[in-house]
């Protein structure tokens, strides 16, 4: 894992009728969130397996912590460290999130996020510690050779916005968070 990136596990409580799963508890996550609070919750749905979304981030002063879980289907979720001076700068980690495995990933400020769907009709739920600020949005190219991300499937259905993110230059020094 990268520094400050955490894979979290959900604990469903079930009986023959079904189950209840707590998706978020501020008290339990306080050690990871510090004084930050969840400010926005988003839901995404991606139809085609192999689709790639990302790699997105918000620059300070709107940098955010994201907590992501998969509600339906399966995705390969990726975090890339773009924190200036970080010992894991430009390294990435990928985890499989699925409705079945109940995993979540916590991605800190200063990391870019993206994912590839491994199934059709994948749905993600995102918790954000900052509201979306278009003027602070940034992105990395999903196929940047400096990152060398090992996407599990052939790449499919990538938005024009994500296709047009520039490749990292040799002088990219990251963002300060």
Query: Token pair of 168, please?
Result: 């990292």
Contacts of 52 (CB under 8 A, 6+ apart): 114, 115, 116, 142, 151, 155, 156, 157, 158, 162
The catalytic residue positions are 56, 126
* Beta-ladder partners of 53: 115
* Beta-ladder partners of 96: 76
d(CA 124, CA 41): 11
């Amino acid at each position: 894992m990268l520094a400050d990136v955490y894979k979290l596990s959900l604990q469903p409580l079930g009986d023959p009728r079904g189950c209840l799963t707590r998706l978020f508890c501020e008290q339990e996550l306080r050690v990871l969130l510090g004084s930050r609070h969840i400010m926005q919750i988003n839901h995404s749905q991606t139809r085609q397996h192999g689709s790639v979304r990302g790699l997105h981030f918000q620059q300070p002063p709107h940098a955010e912590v994201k907590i992501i879980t998969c509600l339906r289907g399966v995705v390969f979720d990726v975090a890339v460290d773009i924190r200036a001076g970080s010992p894991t700068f430009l390294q990435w980690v990928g985890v499989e999130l699925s409705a079945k495995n109940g995993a979540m990933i916590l991605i800190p400020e200063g990391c870019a996020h993206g994912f590839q769907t491994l199934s059709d009709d994948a749905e993600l739920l995102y918790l954000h510690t900052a509201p979306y600020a278009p003027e602070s949005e940034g992105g990395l190219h999903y196929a940047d050779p400096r990152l060398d991300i090992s996407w599990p499937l052939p790449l499919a259905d990538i938005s024009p916005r994500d296709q047009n993110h520039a490749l990292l230059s040799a002088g990219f020094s990251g963002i300060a968070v």
